Amino acid sequence: MDPISTGAKGAVNTLKSAQTVGKDLGKIVGDQQADIEAAVNEQHRIRVEKKLKENAIKAAAEFKAFERYERDKAHQRELQHLKERAIAKYGKNAWVEIESLKVKLEKERTDEENFMNQDREKVNQLFWWCATVAALVTYFFKLYK
C-alpha cells in the first residue's frame, strides 16, 4: 500500500472513532437529562401526594384558618416569653440585640440561597454548553462522514 492510501484509511478510521465517541457522549447527555427529569418528576409526585393527603384531612378553610390562628398565637406567646427571659437574664437591650442578630441571620440565609441559585445556574449553563458541543461534534462528524 502506498502512504496516501494508508493515511486516508487512518483518517477515515479516526473520524469513525470520533463519530462513535460523539454518539456515546450524546447518549450520556441524554441519559443524564432523563435521570434529572425523572428525579424532578418523582419529587413533584411526592409533593402532590402530600398536598392531596393534607387537603383530604383538612378540607374546610375554617379548620385551616383556626389552626393557623392557633399557631400564630402560640408563636406570639413563645416570642413574648423568650423576650421576657432575655430581658430578665441579660438586661433591657438584650432583645434589641437579639432582633438585630435575627435580621443578620436572615440576611445570611438569603445570601446563601442566592449563592446556591447562582451555582445551580452555572451548572445548568455548563450542562447546556456541553450538550451543544456534543451536538456540534456529532453533526460535524456526520457531515464529514
pLDDT grade, residue 79 (50/70/90)? very high
Report pLDDT for 61: 72
Cell match 432582633: residue?
99
Q: What is the pLDDT of residue 58?
A: 65
Nearest CA to 41 out of 51, 49, 53 is that of: 49
Most confidently predicted of 4-8, 35-39, 64-68, 76-80 = 76-80
* Whole-structure pTM value: 0.43
> 12 falls in which pLDDT band (50, 70, 90)?
confident
CB of 25 within 8 A of CB of 134? yes
| Core vs surface per residue 66-99: b (16+ CB within 10 A) or e | eeeeeeeeeeeeeeeeeeeebeeeeeeeebeeee
- When the pLDDT of each residue in the chain is averaged and rounded to a whole number, the result is 86
